[in-house]
Structure formats: C-alpha cells, structure tokens
C-alpha cells in the first residue's frame, strides 16, 4: 500500500506538468521524461538529506514521501485551476502494421514483467554490491561510507540503488526494487521513440525504434536483473532528447532554458547511475554542439552552463564522500587499473574494437564462430597485438561464443547487423548524406564506441556494458528501417526481431519462465531463486542464517573477499529479531573506517569467513576486536563460522 506514495508523487508531478496557463504542445512522452527527472532528483536529494540527519529509516522515508505527495499535489492543484491538462488522445489512424508493432512490443514487455516481478536479484554484481549497499545504508541510516571488502559498494554511482532503498523501506521487501530495471526499459521505449521523432521520424519509425530496443537480447536479460544499465540508458536518451530540443530552440530563437535545465538534470542523473556515462555522453554533446550555428550557441551558452552546474550539483555529495575516502571523486584508484586499459595505442584500440564486436556476432554454428575467431586473431597478428594482453584484457582467453542466455553476456547479433546496415544506408543514400543531424548522431555513437574501446578492458561482460549504446542507436535503426527498408522490409524484419527475442524472454539463465525445479520462476520459492545461479551457496548460506537464529545472535561480522553477501540479508529478513551485519578485518581503503564510530565499538558474536583451503584456521583473531578470540564453530562449503569466546576462556 505504501508503494502508492511514490506512484502518486509521480502522477501528481506529471499532472502538474501537463497543466498550466496554456495547452501543452509537447508530446506526453516528454512530460513523462520531465516527471521522471523531477521524481528522481527528489529521491537523490531526499536521500542525501535523510542520510545527513541519520534518518534513512522507515519513519524518515515515510515522512519524505508524505511531504513529496503533499508538495506535488499542491503544485498540481494550483496549475489545474489555471488550465486542466489536455486529454490523452488515442491515434485513430493506426495501421495494421502499427498495431502489429505495438502488440509485439507489449507482449515482450509483459513477458519480461512476469520474470522481473517473480525473480529476485541473482547475478554476482547484484548480490555482491548493488543490493548489499542498499541494506547497509538502511542499517546505518546514512549514505556515509562504511568498511567493506567490496569497495564497489561505496564508490559506484548510487542512483539506482537509492531508488531501490526507498522501495525496499516502504514495502519491506526487494520485489518492487527488482522492477526498477524493467520500468526503466519500458521508459526507454518511449524515450527512444521520442529521439526518433526529434530526428525527423514519423510514427512507423518511432515504433520500429521501440521494437529494436525492446527485443535486444542483452536488454531482455537486464530488464529482469538487479543492475542499472537500463536506468543509465534512459537518462542518456532523455539527455539526447532535451539537447536536440534546446538546439532547435536556439536556432528558432525561442527560450531554451527549460530544455537545457532538463538536459543538465538528465546528464547528472546518468552520471549518478553508471560510470560508463562518462564515455557515452560527451560524444553526443559534442555532436549537438557541432550541429548548432554559432549565433544560436551564444544564445544557449548561459543556459548550458547552468545545466552543467545542475549536473555537477546532483553528484556533488557522492563525489565528496569518495574524495574524502579515496582521494578521488569517482573511484578507488587501486581498482582503476583492474578495469581501465593501461596502454592506449591504435593497435590496442583496434583490438578492443574487434573483440567487443565479436561479443555481438556469435552464431549457433561452431564452424562460423571459429572462422570469425580466426579472422580476429589474424588481424591481431597483422597489428602486432596480443588478444589476451593483460593491459587490455580481463581474463586470459579470447574466443567467439555461441548465443548465450547468461544475463551479463548475451549478444545482439541480429541487432548488430541491423545497425551495420543502418550506418551503410545512412552514408550511402543521398537523403542520409544530406541529413546533418542523423550523420552527426551516427558519428557520435561511433565515437562513443571508440572511447569505450580505448578505456575499458575487454571481457565477456562488456556485452552488458554496451547496452546503453545499443539503446542510443535504436532511433537511427528505426529511421533506417522505416525510410530505407520500406514496409516490405521493415515489418518482416521487426517480426524476426520479435520472434528472435523469445529464447531470452523465456530462458534467461537462473530465472526461466517455467516450472523447472530450482530455477523456474513459476514454481521455485523466491528464497531459493537467490541461489539459482550459484547453487553451491544455498546450503552454506542457509546454515549461516540458521546458526544466527538458533543462537540468538544479534551482531554478525563478515569476512567475504569474493562471495556475495546479500542472500544472507535476504534469509535473515524472516520476521525475526534484527541483526547487525558489518564487514570485519577489511584491509582495503575502507578498512580505516573501522577505527571510527560507529564501527570502532562493533563486537560481533559470530564471524562468517569465506574460506578456500581444505582446513580453515581453528581460531580467528581480529586485531580490531580486542579481548576476543573466535574458535571455529563449524564449516559449511565456502563458509566457516567462528563464535566469539571472551579472552581467558579456554
């Protein structure tokens, strides 16, 4: 029931935007994007305020949303008196082709919704830091950094997790929060169609852009995950839309302030969602800049500067926390080398361009995959590049894999071919070459891909990191299919994309839409689905939760170097007494925080340690916990349990 508060706030914000002194000429999709901007800025600012007051708790979050409902409701009432919002018009001229595309989009969205609402977070990233940071914030009642073995819980951009925090606090579970990626994916369909409209596309092109986005295999697997890639993609599309709208206002001599403020907010929220925004957003901004006449640029300058200030302000609190701990506003410098390309040359960039492309080109045929692989290796030999160079690669192997339903590694072979054909058609056709906006947008996407390849080390999960770029390309694909391909090509190809999405829609690893025991979301209990991708962890974590409850333990220490921690929180959310869980014995940068309140006085009764050897130590000594020894209680799989024994007791 309390979930209605955020929904009512959003509805009131949307109603206020649609109301006013004059009829709204902009499409409702634009007002939906503006309402999402206002709502998310309110979440970010409200979270920072509650965190500063150590009030990130149920009363604090509830009070915040009551206040937001009241304020947005008052704004709606005030604007409603001046002018009621125009009714939503349902197009009366939909063709059969349009209806077919809308129906296909709806079916794919509905299928992924069923999986998203039934399946919990399952990936190592979701269970390791995306959801773990949420429960630590709630426990600590603040966004302040804390000791942790997984520094990503601290330095990674937090917006998606802040939204999940509010939903978890209001509903008491993670089901609503797990829908965030799905909601963002659906929002991207509207935003992609809006950008297609900005680039001159009619209704068919806009629907094809949405079809392209909704059928992306990596997009389908991510729409039901606990990550943030779709959220980042949405803000990037909104950023592009309002940049193009501001450019148009500057050229026409109308006020660009609102559009540039919205673009600045969208950029800030994108940066607050995912670090790869730094790679994808600048090329798009530069492309719009290059398209804008000098006279219009002077008109836009002041508002653009204000938009940039807004983008920085949205991120300032999080960057300050990082700067205070790491000496770097964006990341832990000791971990940057793990992910960032260490040697940037034309050869290393070409290597990553080729290898990242192969992530999208896997086929069911091993023979074809081997041909692609041999071709890539031959190019590496010609360039004098090492395909497994540790300075450009995470891992020590490179091969072309067949299509996979693993959520981090699903490729988009059909979509990649469509994009390749789109680029060729745009450059080769006379109409395409004459459209500077579309050419500039294509160049921006190509530039963003090159920047990504020059910055991020190659690994198989890069397929997921490239999702926002594929979504940004959806408007161009829709335009090309509608205008170059024509109806005889566009609709059959759209049907192929829709049918081709079915394996990922129904068979994503760990959460197939089936009754298969242990993994099928239609028959498997939610607590078991947490472990569907890591079944060997099910017994150790269940035993850990059982020990905590049987012994009446209230303070638990964790020493998990690589194992995920969120499933333990989920198992202990069983209605029993609350348990405080903290990381102990942390040797990385955040370990210094253990020497300051409120962590310095933490005395765990039980310490859960990740072990990989045949025999764990018989006694655990924690330097930060004086006067206590922790004898081994027992071991279960990768976990060993140590119960506290006061000093002097034998």
Q: What is the pLDDT of residue 647?
A: 47
- 72-86, 138-152, 234-248, 257-271: range with lowest mean pLDDT: 72-86
Q: What is the pLDDT of residue 646?
A: 56
Whether 23 has a pLDDT exceeding 90, the answer reads: no
Reported as a pLDDT band with limits 50, 70 and 90, residue 254 is confident
Q: How many other β-carbons are positioned within 10 Å of the β-carbon of residue 462?
A: 19
Q: What is the mean pLDDT of residues 133-159?
A: 98
Beta-bridged to residue 639, according to DSSP, are: 610, 636
Q: What is the pLDDT of residue 82?
A: 81
Place of tokens 């991120």: 315
Q: What is the pLDDT of residue 435?
A: 85
Place of tokens 């149920």: 58
* CA 185 to chain centroid: 10
Reported as a pLDDT band with limits 50, 70 and 90, residue 604 is very high
Question: By C-alpha distance, which of 412, 400, 404, 413 is closest to 368?
Answer: 400
**pLDDT, tens digit, 9 for 90 and up, residues 282-291:** 999 999 988 8
Reported as a pLDDT band with limits 50, 70 and 90, residue 297 is confident
Q: What is the pLDDT of residue 22?
A: 53
Q: What is the pLDDT of residue 26?
A: 74
**pLDDT, tens digit, 9 for 90 and up, residues 385-429:** 999 999 999 987 899 999 999 999 999 999 999 999 999 988 887
Q: What is the mean pLDDT of residues 276-295?
A: 93
Whether 280 has a pLDDT exceeding 80, the answer reads: yes
- 58-72, 265-279, 365-379, 394-408: range with lowest mean pLDDT: 394-408
Q: What is the pLDDT of residue 81?
A: 82
Q: What is the pLDDT of residue 644?
A: 85
Q: What is the pLDDT of residue 124?
A: 93
Q: What is the pLDDT of residue 563?
A: 83
Helix axes 58-82, 159-171, angle to 10 degrees: 100
Q: Which DSSP letter does residue 137 get?
A: H
- 39-43, 252-256, 300-304, 471-475: range with lowest mean pLDDT: 252-256
Spatial CB neighbours of 376, under 8 Å, sequence gap ≥ 6 = 354, 355, 358, 387, 398, 400
Q: What is the mean pLDDT of residues 3-26?
A: 85
- Three-state secondary structure readout of 23-69: CCCCCHHHHHHHHHHHHHHHHHHHHHHHHHCCCCCHHHHHHHHHHHH
Q: What is the pLDDT of residue 539?
A: 96
Distance (Å) of CA 589 to CA 45, 145, 149, 334, 625: 27, 11, 9, 9, 18
**pLDDT, tens digit, 9 for 90 and up, residues 539-592:** 999 999 999 999 999 999 999 988 899 999 999 999 999 999 999 999 999 999
Question: By C-alpha distance, which of 166, 136, 167, 164 is closest to 149?
Answer: 136
- Whether the ω angle into residue 332 lies within 30 degrees of 0, i.e. cis, is no
* 552 Rama class: left (phi>0) / alpha (psi -120 to 50) / beta: left
CA distance 415 to 406: 18
**pLDDT, tens digit, 9 for 90 and up, residues 175-203:** 988 899 999 999 999 999 999 999 999 99
- The proportion of the chain whose per-residue pLDDT surpasses 90, expressed as a percent, equals 82
**pLDDT, tens digit, 9 for 90 and up, residues 96-132:** 999 999 999 999 999 999 999 999 999 999 999 999 9
Spatial CB neighbours of 604, under 8 Å, sequence gap ≥ 6 = 555, 556, 557, 582, 584, 625, 644
Q: How many other β-carbons are positioned within 10 Å of the β-carbon of residue 309?
A: 12
More confident residue, 57 or 623: 57
Averaged pLDDT of the chain: 93
Record the pTM: 0.96
Top-ranked range on mean pLDDT: pick from 39-48, 501-510, 515-524: 39-48
Whether 67 has a pLDDT exceeding 50, the answer reads: yes
Q: Which DSSP string do the residues of 194-221 spell out, in sequence order?
A: HHHHHTT--HHHHHHHHHHHHT-HHHHH
Query: Where are the domains positioned within the chain?
Result: 1-26+51-86, 27-50+99-113+120-334, 339-476, 534-646
Contact between residue 535 and residue 518 where contact means Cβ atoms under 8 Å apart: yes
* 637 Rama class: left (phi>0) / alpha (psi -120 to 50) / beta: left
Question: By C-alpha distance, which of 327, 238, 277 is closest to 37?
Answer: 238
Whether 433 has a pLDDT exceeding 80, the answer reads: no
Q: What is the pLDDT of residue 100?
A: 96
Reported as a pLDDT band with limits 50, 70 and 90, residue 256 is confident
Q: What is the pLDDT of residue 627?
A: 59
Question: By C-alpha distance, which of 632, 615, 616, 639 is closest to 545?
Answer: 639
More confident residue, 267 or 79: 267
Q: What is the pLDDT of residue 626?
A: 58
Reported as a pLDDT band with limits 50, 70 and 90, residue 650 is very low
Q: What is the mean pLDDT of residues 489-508?
A: 94
Q: What is the pLDDT of residue 649?
A: 42
């Amino acid at each position: 029931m309390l979930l209605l508060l955020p929904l009512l706030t959003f509805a009131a914000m949307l109603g206020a935007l649609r109301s006013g002194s004059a009829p709204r000429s902009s499409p409702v999709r634009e007002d939906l994007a503006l309402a999402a901007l206002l709502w998310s800025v309110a979440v970010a600012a409200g979270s920072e305020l509650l965190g500063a007051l150590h009030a990130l708790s149920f009363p604090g979050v509830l009070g915040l949303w009551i206040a937001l409902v009241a304020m947005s409701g008052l704004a709606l009432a005030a604007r409603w008196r001046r002018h009621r919002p125009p009714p939503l018009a349902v197009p009366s001229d939909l063709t059969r082709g349009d209806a077919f595309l809308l129906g296909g989009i709806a079916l794919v969205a509905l299928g992924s919704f069923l999986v998203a609402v039934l399946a919990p977070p399952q990936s190592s990233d979701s269970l390791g830091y995306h959801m773990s940071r949420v429960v630590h914030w709630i426990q600590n009642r603040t966004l302040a950094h804390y000791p942790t073995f997984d520094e990503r819980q601290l330095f990674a951009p937090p917006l998606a997790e802040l939204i999940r925090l509010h939903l978890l606090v209001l509903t008491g579970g993670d089901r609503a929060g797990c829908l965030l990626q799905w909601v963002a994916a659906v929002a991207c369909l509207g935003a992609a169609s809006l950008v297609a409209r900005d680039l001159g596309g009619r209704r068919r092109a806009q629907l094809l852009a949405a079809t392209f986005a909704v059928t992306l295999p990596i997009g389908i697997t991510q729409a039901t995950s606990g990550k943030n890639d779709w959220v980042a993609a949405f803000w990037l599309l909104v950023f592009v839309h309002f940049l193009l709208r501001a450019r148009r206002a500057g050229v026409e001599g109308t006020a660009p302030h609102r559009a540039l403020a919205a673009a600045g907010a969208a950029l800030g929220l994108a940066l607050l969602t995912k670090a790869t925004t730094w790679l994808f957003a600048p090329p798009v901004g530069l492309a719009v800049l290059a398209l804008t006449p000098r006279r219009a640029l002077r008109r836009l300058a002041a508002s653009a500067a204000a938009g940039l200030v807004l983008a920085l302000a949205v991120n300032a609190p999080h960057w300050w926390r990082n700067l205070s701990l790491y000496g770097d506003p964006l990341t832990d410098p000791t971990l940057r080398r793990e992910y960032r390309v260490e040697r940037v040359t034309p050869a290393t960039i070409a290597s990553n361009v080729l290898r990242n492309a192969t992530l999208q080109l896997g086929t069911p045929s091993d023979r074809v995959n081997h041909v692609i692989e041999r071709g890539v290796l031959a190019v590496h030999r010609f360039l004098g590049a090492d395909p497994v160079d540790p300075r450009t690669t995470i891992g020590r192997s490179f091969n072309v894999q067949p299509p996979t339903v693993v959520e981090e590694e699903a490729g988009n072979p059909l979509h990649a071919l469509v994009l390749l054909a789109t680029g060729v058609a745009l450059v080769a056709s006379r109409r395409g070459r004459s459209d500077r906006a579309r050419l500039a947008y294509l160049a921006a996407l190509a530039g963003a891909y090159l920047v990504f390849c020059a910055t991020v080390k190659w690994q198989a999960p890069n397929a997921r990191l490239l999702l926002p770029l594929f979504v940004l390309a959806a408007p161009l694909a829709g335009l090309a299919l509608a205008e170059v391909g024509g109806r005889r090509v566009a609709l059959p190809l759209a049907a192929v994309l829709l049918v081709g999405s079915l394996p990922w829609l129904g068979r994503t690893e760990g959460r197939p839409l089936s009754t298969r025991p242990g993994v099928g979301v239609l028959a498997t209990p939610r607590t078991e689905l947490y472990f569907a991708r890591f079944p060997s962890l099910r017994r150790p974590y269940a035993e850990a939760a059982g020990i905590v409850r049987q012994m009446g333990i209230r303070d638990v220490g964790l020493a998990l170097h690589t194992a995920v921690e969120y499933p333990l929180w989920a198992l202990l959310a069983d209605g029993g007494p609350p348990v405080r869980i903290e990381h102990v014995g942390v040797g990385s940068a955040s370990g210094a925080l253990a020497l300051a309140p409120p962590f310095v006085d933490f005395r765990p009764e039980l310490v859960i340690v990740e072990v990989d050897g045949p025999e764990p130590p018989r006694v655990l000594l924690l330097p930060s916990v004086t006067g206590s020894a922790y004898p081994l209680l027992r071991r279960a799989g990768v976990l060993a349990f140590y119960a506290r024994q006061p000093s002097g007791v034998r």
